[in-house]
Amino acid sequence: MNSGVHYFISFLSIRIKSEQLTFIRAGQIFFGFLFLLAFGLKVEGQTPTTTTLSSSPNPSCLNEAVTLTATVDQIAVTGTVNFYDGITLLGSGTLSLGVASLSISTLTAGVHNNITATYLGVAPYNGGTSLAITHTVNSPPAISGQPIAQTVGIGCTASFSVTSSGTAPFALTKI
């Protein structure tokens, strides 16, 4: 064998985000000159996923249980989904047949316009975050008026002035 001729093969493998990239190079060094015989790039990726989110009931009342449901489009996925209101973690759910849910009753009154679900990803599936949804929590009405309580005799009439604020439905009931 001629001592001036050398053959080589080299591998370089790196991970960028969820993609595994492998560079393969083979060549020959002939008396100090490099001759590449082959060069290749192999991308070993994971299966992409799409996560969708819904809330029910929407709108809800203050302190009412709300169910957040995340669906990942690959039914065989496993793992965890985190639910967020903006950057605040509301809780987590475990995927079963591509669906995870979380029941909460701690949303504050008002409009929550940045509720998302994030699938953390378990090989061979990529993680991902749903589009943001809006959920409205109605506050109970504040009732003011004078007098607050009044006794009215049989056959008599009375008048009340009622001011309502808040977003929940309001009704007067005759007893």
Q: What are the domain boundaries of the chain?
A: 5-44, 51-138
Q: How far apart are CA 56 and CA 81, in angstroms?
A: 17
**CA 129 and chain centroid, separation:** 5
pLDDT tens across 13-49, in order? 555 555 555 555 555 455 544 444 444 444 456 788 9
Q: Which residues of the chain have pLDDT under 70?
A: 1-45, 140-175
- What is the model's pLDDT at position 15? 56
**Span 51-138: which CATH code?**
2.60.40.10
Beta-carbon contacts of residue 27 (< 8 Å; ≥ 6 apart): 7, 8, 9, 34, 35, 36, 37, 38
Answer for the pair 112, 106: CB distance below 8 angstroms, yes or no. no
- What is the model's pLDDT at position 23? 53
**CA 152 and chain centroid, separation:** 55
- What is the model's pLDDT at position 126? 87
Q: For residue 100, which phi and psi values (nearest 5 degrees)?
A: -130, 145
Q: How far apart are CA 157 and CA 3, in angstroms?
A: 117
Answer for the pair 5, 30: CB distance below 8 angstroms, yes or no. yes
- What is the model's pLDDT at position 42? 45
